[in-house]
Every structure is written in structure tokens, then in C-alpha cells.
């Protein structure tokens, strides 16, 4: 029986860099999730007759939210829903199912790399029929709808069983519960040289994959251990838990410290990797060597032709603005286009759909290709494994050869988390006001060539996105970028992105923090970080 529930709008239901993220208890308030879901359906022209993919990363409230969304979809007259078993789907697997089944989009429950649990974070995002994150026009329409909402529609029915694969019915809507892994694993087999990788594992190649108790565990076990023959136990923290077992599922050296310690230790395996809450991020580590995400993107792009799915070469390479220019050098050498987009995967969608680029990446441990419309953590790990299997070299050797050929873009991101929003805003405003006066001035012995607030005009549809981060570029192309995070749920997070290019042949193996020291000094002085935020040091360095 369809029910219409009267409600009033909630403040602040504004999607950020990737969906709406709030504290879990905020989402648990009566009508809160329902209001956003109704606004979402209204913003896309209703759900009647449509087919949606629904699933999430298994964090606390995932199962309840899936049931709420299913009831609401059925009440709006949706035709059917494709749901991952137990409500689980990684973000890239959801993107694939949306495309494979030619659906009208999907709803993914995740706060991605943010911690999970009743006192941590929850989130919801909508992906369009191309499988990619909703573009800004759509998220703006959703936000507008949340401000005027007066009622929502749902069903008065008990929960359905999400644990059994097969078809079931929710009022007039059919629900298909599917294996979350099968179709995704088949897609990976179609792209990569599984026999070569299997042979390398059979030869004694060792790896560790830290799933951080998040959604990738079942995918990694099936693909790495079962299909490729990595030793049992290669996947650690492989069972998705509602609170991620207390881990912060952000695959970077700070939060994936167990993996880092093993990879830097004496008995390190050949290869290490970790992924985030919803499985779209990856961190890659060789024995004794950390691979920065910007370098990973460049190496993957330069070697992608070694995998069957990319043997025809790349159409182009895209990176987010704060990501280092290492990938641009690869594109230039290949003679293909390269693009610089604002932060957030949604900006790659048009380029991928238009066939202008094949591989994309962000400095925040995100890499992916035109196989789906999301970044894809396991995909990146498999492409690395494919390259390692074909080249028969170590991660360190591959990096060394890469830098010798292209030079090295030393790179680091410094995060200042949970600072007071008012102070962060004041710092950014003061910086923006100063921008026109900066070119020609000197900081820490370096001269500024250009200073601006990044604006992007989408080359496919002409849409313009402004205020995407402050860029300070020096005469030697070294760079500082300042941005405030759009995924946090507490206070503000200041991200400072630092880059310096050294062409080689010398100085290709410096400690990045040492190589970047003058840029770091300039970054603090220029923006007055210490004065505004009260912090002299970042709390996460990647
Ligand atoms: C961060 C990253 C950005 C990424 C986004 C979503 O956004 O910087 O590159 O696309 O998270 O990733 P922000 O606004 O906090 O800098 V995920 O894996 O958390 O969905
Ligand atoms: Co994620």
C-alpha cells in the first residue's frame, strides 16, 4: 500500500564532491534519508517505469537505507531494481551494472574513504545511466528539490530478504538480487591478461591486498586468490564490517599503516595494495617503495598497452587539476590529448563518453578508465599486476625507468583536517583577494609566474565550473594548489597540493618532502596557514 508522508525540508542536503555525506546519526533521523531520496527522484523526472541499481559499501545503516530506498522506488512506480546481495556493491561494480543492464541509473550508499559506524559517516550518491556520478546540474536540481519538499511516497511493507540471490517482488516492482562480484570479475577478465598474471603467481610472486574491512574484500578474494592464484591470505581485512573494524578505510600511508609497515619491512611481498570503503580508490606499494598516485597514473598510462583491453593504445589521458603533470608528459610523448579537470570523478564522464580519453586519474588514489564511469581500485591493482607480469620487473625498477625517461614530478599533498570552518574560509578568501598581486613576486627564493582560481570549461558540453581551487605557479612550473575538501563531515579540511618537476638525470631519487621543502615553506608563507588555522603541520601527508 502506497503511503504519502508529509514532511518539511531539512537544511544542508547539498551533495559535495561525491554525493551527500553526513554523520550517520543525521541520516538516521526520521524522514532525513527519505527527503533526500524523494528529491533525488524528483530531480531526475521521477522514477516511474525506471530501472535502478542499488547497493552500498556495507557500512552501518547500509541495509536499512537499501530497504528504505527500495520501498520508495516501488512507491514511485519504478519498474525494477537490481540489488547487490546483502545490499553490497562496490562503486565501480555498481557503475558496471548500471551500464551492462542499460538502466536508468543507480543509487550507491557510501561515505567512501570516511570512517563508518553509528558515530561516524554515511552517504548517498546517484549515478546517471552512463554509470558515472551525477553531474553538477543534476546534484544542483536535487539540492533545490530538498529545499521545497513537502511530502514523500513510500510503501507500508516489511523488509525484503536481501540475502538470497534471485528475483522477488516488492508491490509492483521486481527486485533482482545479484552476486555483487560475478559481472565485475568477468569485466576484469575481459581487460587483463589473466594467464600471464596467473603464471607470475604460480612462479612465486607474492602480494598483499588490504581491503580495510570494506567492500572490496569479496572482490579481491575472488579475483586475486581464486581466479589468479595468489596465495590464500594475500587479501587481509577481507570481510566487510559495518564499522570497518575500526579502520579508517582511506588507502594512504597514514591510514593503511599496517600494509605500509609490511611493505617497508624485511619480509615484504613483491607488491602491496589497499582500497577504500567503496572500492574506487587504490594505493599501490612495491617492496620498499611507495608509489604516489600521480606517478601511478602516469606509469599505468605509459604501460596500459601491455594489457589486452588497451592494446590499441589510449585516446587521451585526463587528470584532475591538483594531480601532478606526470601523466601529461606521457600523453605528450604518445601524441594524444590530455585534459585537466576539477576535482571529482564526475568531471571525467563527458570526456570518456565522447571518446576523448581512455585513462583518468586523481592524486587522491583514484585511477580508472573507460571500462566504467567511476574510478576503480581493483582495476588499477590488476593493471599494475598485468604490467608487472609482462615486464617481469619490480615496482621499483619500473618507477626508476619511468623517471629516467620522463623526469620526476615530485609531489605531495598536505591535509589539515578538522579545522574551524570560519578560519579556513577566511584564509581562502584572503588568498583569493591577493591573487592578482602575486605574479612577479618572490617567495622562498622562487618567483611566481601565475596565480588564479581554477575554472573549467567542459570541452564537450561547454558547462563552466568556477572556484575549483587556488593555483600558484612558479617560473620553473613548480606549483602550489589550495582547496577545501568537499567530502568531510566535520569542520573544514584544507588540502595543500605541492609539486616540483626535476628533469633528471640527477636528483631522481630524493625524498619528496625534502625535494619539495622550498615549495612547502612558500605554501605556508603565502597563505598564512599557521596564522589562520593555528596549525604548523599537516596531520595527513600523502
Ligand atoms: C576527495 C578527493 C577527490 C575525490 C573525492 C571522492 O574529495 O580529493 O579527488 O574525487 O574525495 O573520492 P575532497 O573534496 O574531499 O578533496 V571517494 O573515493 O571519497 O568517493
Ligand atoms: Co571511494
Q: Which three cell numbers stand for residue 189?
A: 577478465
How many Å apart are CA 409 and CA 416, to the nearest integer?
23
State yes or no: pLDDT of 17 exceeds 90.
no
State yes or no: pLDDT of 443 exceeds 90.
no
Query: Which pairs with CB-CB distance under 8 Å and at least 24 residues apart come from 26-33?
Result: 26/122, 27/61, 27/65, 27/122, 27/124, 28/61, 28/118, 31/5, 31/7, 31/152, 33/65, 33/68, 33/69, 33/124
**Cα of 415 to ligand 1 centre, how many Å?**
13
The pLDDT, as a whole number, for residue 1 is 85
The pLDDT, as a whole number, for residue 94 is 98
Which ligand is the nearest neighbour of the Cα of 90? 2
Q: In a mutational test of the pocket of ligand 1, which residue from 248, 364, 486 has the highest number of ligand atoms less than 8 Å from its CB?
A: 364
Burial state string for 450-486 with b = 16 or more CB within 10 A and e = fewer than 16: ebeebebebeeeeeebeebbbbbbbeeebbbbbbbbe
How many Å apart are CA 522 and CA 519, to the nearest integer?
5
Residue-wise pLDDT for 472-502, tens only, equals 999 988 999 999 998 878 889 999 999 999 9
Q: Cβ contacts of residue 77 below 8 Å, gap of 6+?
A: 46, 47, 48, 49, 172, 173
**Cα of 343 to ligand 1 centre, how many Å?**
7
Ligand 1 atom closest to the Cα of residue 277 is 18
How many Å apart are CA 97 and CA 187, to the nearest integer?
10
**Cα of 6 to ligand 1 centre, how many Å?**
34
Residue of the nearest CA to atom 17 in ligand 1? 112
DSSP state of 166: E
**Cα of 16 to ligand 1 centre, how many Å?**
9
Catalytic residues: 112
Among residues of the chain, what percentage have pLDDT more than 70?
Answer: 100
CA-CA-CA-CA torsion for 191, 380, 110, 459, nearest 10 degrees?
Answer: -80
Q: Do the Cβ atoms of 304 and 390 come closer than 8 Å?
A: no
The pLDDT, as a whole number, for residue 220 is 98
The pLDDT, as a whole number, for residue 108 is 98
Residue of the nearest CA to atom 4 in ligand 1? 344
Q: What is the number of other CB atoms lying within 10 angstroms of the CB of residue 424?
A: 21
Which ligand is the nearest neighbour of the Cα of 346? 1
Which ligand is the nearest neighbour of the Cα of 123? 1
Q: What is the Cβ-side half-sphere exposure of residue 118, based on CA atoms within 13 angstroms?
A: 1
State yes or no: pLDDT of 387 exceeds 90.
yes
Residue of the nearest CA to atom 11 in ligand 1? 487
Report DSSP letters for 382-412, one per residue. HHHHHHHHHH---HHHHHHHHHHHH-EEEEE
User: What does the pLDDT average to over 261-277?
Assistant: 96
Q: In a mutational test of the pocket of ligand 1, which residue from 121, 139, 343, 486 has the highest number of ligand atoms less than 8 Å from its CB?
A: 343
Q: Do the Cβ atoms of 309 and 376 come closer than 8 Å?
A: no
Of the candidates 40, 104, 27, which has an alpha carbon nearest to the alpha carbon of residue 72?
40
Residue-wise pLDDT for 72-127, tens only, equals 999 999 999 999 999 999 999 999 999 999 999 999 999 999 999 999 999 999 99
Residue-wise pLDDT for 136-191, tens only, equals 899 999 999 999 999 999 999 999 999 999 999 999 999 999 999 999 999 999 99
**Cα of 176 to ligand 2 centre, how many Å?**
25
Q: Which helix (H) or strand (E) holds 290?
A: strand 289-291
Residue of the nearest CA to atom 8 in ligand 1? 364
Residue-wise pLDDT for 230-267, tens only, equals 999 999 999 999 999 999 999 999 999 999 999 999 99
Three-state secondary structure call for residue 108: strand
Q: Do the Cβ atoms of 513 and 390 come closer than 8 Å?
A: no
Residue of the nearest CA to atom 2 in ligand 1? 364
Ligand 1 atom closest to the Cα of residue 487 is 15
Q: In a mutational test of the pocket of ligand 1, which residue from 14, 15, 18 has the highest number of ligand atoms less than 8 Å from its CB?
A: 18
Residue of the nearest CA to atom 6 in ligand 1? 18
What confidence tier does 432 reach under pLDDT thresholds 50, 70, 90?
Answer: very high
Which ligand is the nearest neighbour of the Cα of 344? 1
The pLDDT, as a whole number, for residue 488 is 78
List ligand 1's pocket residues with C-beta within 6 A: 17-18, 112-113, 276, 280-281, 320, 343-345, 362, 364, 366, 485-487, 495
State yes or no: pLDDT of 413 exceeds 90.
yes
Amino acid at each position: 500500500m502506497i503511503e504519502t508522508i508529509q514532511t518539511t525540508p531539512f537544511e544542508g542536503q547539498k551533495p559535495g564532491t561525491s554525493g551527500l555525506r553526513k554523520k550517520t546519526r543525521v541520516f538516521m533521523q526520521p524522514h532525513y534519508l527519505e527527503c533526500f531520496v524523494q528529491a533525488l527522484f524528483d530531480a531526475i523526472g521521477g522514477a516511474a517505469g525506471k530501472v535502478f541499481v542499488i547497493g552500498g559499501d556495507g557500512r552501518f545503516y547500509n541495509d536499512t537505507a537499501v530497504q528504505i530506498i527500495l520501498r520508495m522506488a516501488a512507491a514511485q512506480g519504478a519498474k525494477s531494481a537490481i540489488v547487490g546481495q546483502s545490499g553490497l556493491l562496490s562503486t565501480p561494480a555498481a557503475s558496471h551494472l548500471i551500464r551492462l543492464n542499460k538502466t536508468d541509473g543507480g543509487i550507491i550508499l557510501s561515505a567512501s574513504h570516511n570512517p563508518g559506524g553509528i558515530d561516524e559517516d554515511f552517504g548517498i550518491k546517484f549515478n546517471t545511466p552512463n554509470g558515472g556520478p551525477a553531474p553538477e546540474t543534476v546534484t544542483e536540481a536535487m539540492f533545490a528539490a530538498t529545499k521545497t519538499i513537502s511530502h514523500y511516497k513510500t510503501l507500508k511493507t516489511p523488509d525484503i530478504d536481501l540475502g538470497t540471490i534471485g528475483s522477488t517482488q516488492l508491490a509492483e516492482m521486481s527486485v533482482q538480487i545479484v552476486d555483487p562480484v560475478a559481472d565485475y570479475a568477468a569485466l576484469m577478465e575481459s581487460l587483463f591478461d589473466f594467464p600471464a598474471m596467473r603464471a607470475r603467481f604460480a612462479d612465486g610472486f607474492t602480494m598483499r591486498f588490504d581491503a580495510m574491512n570494506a567492500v572490496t574484500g569479496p572482490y579481491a578474494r575472488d579475483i586475486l586468490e581464486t581466479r589468479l592464484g595468489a596465495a590464500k591470505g594475500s587479501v587481509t581485512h577481507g570481510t566487510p564490517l559495518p564499522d570497518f573494524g575500526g579502520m579508517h578505510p582511506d588507502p594512504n600511508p597514514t591510514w593503511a599503516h599496517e600494509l605500509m609497515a609490511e611493505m617497508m619491512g624485511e619480509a615484504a611481498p613483491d607488491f602491496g595494495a589497499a582500497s577504500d570503503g567503496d572500492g574506487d580508490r587504490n594505493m599501490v606499494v612495491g617492496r620498499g617503495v611507495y608509489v604516489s598516485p600521480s606517478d601511478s597514473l602516469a606509469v599505468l598510462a605509459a604501460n596500459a598497452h601491455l594489457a589486452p583491453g588497451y592494446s590499441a593504445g589510449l585516446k587521451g589521458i585526463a587528470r584532475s587539476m591538483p594531480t601532478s603533470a606526470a601523466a601529461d608528459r606521457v600523453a605528450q610523448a604518445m601524441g594524444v590529448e590530455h585534459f585537466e579537470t576539477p576535482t571529482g570523478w564526475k568531471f571525467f564522464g563527458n570526456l570518456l563518453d565522447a571518446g576523448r580519453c581512455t585513462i583518468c586519474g586523481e592524486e587522491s588514489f583514484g585511477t580508472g578508465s573507460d571500462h566504467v564511469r567511476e574510478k576503480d581500485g581493483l582495476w588499477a591493482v590488476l593493471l599494475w599486476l598485468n604490467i608487472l607480469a609482462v615486464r617481469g620487473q619490480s615496482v621499483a625498477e619500473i618507477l626508476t625507468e619511468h623517471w629516467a625517461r620522463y623526469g620526476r614530478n615530485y609531489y605531495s599533498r598536505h591535509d589539515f583536517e578538522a579545522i574551524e570552518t570560519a578560519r579556513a574560509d577566511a584564509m581562502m578568501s584572503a588568498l583569493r583577494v591577493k591573487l592578482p598581486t602575486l605574479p612577479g613576486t618572490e617567495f622562498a627564493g622562487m618567483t611566481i609566474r601565475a596565480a588564479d582560481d581554477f575554472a573549467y570549461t567542459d570541452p564537450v558540453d561547454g558547462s563552466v565550473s568556477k572556484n575549483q581551487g587556488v593555483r600558484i605557479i612558479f617560473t620553473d612550473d613548480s606549483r602550489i594548489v589550495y582547496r577545501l575538501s568537499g567530502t568531510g563531515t566535520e569542520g573544514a579540511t584544507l588540502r595543500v597540493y605541492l609539486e616540483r618537476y626535476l628533469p633528471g638525470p640527477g636528483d631522481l631519487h630524493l625524498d619528496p618532502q625534502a625535494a619539495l621543502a622550498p615549495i612547502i615553506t612558500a605554501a605556508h608563507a603565502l597563505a598564512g596557514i599557521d596564522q589562520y588555522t593555528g596549525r604548523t603541520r599537516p596531520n595527513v601527508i600523502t
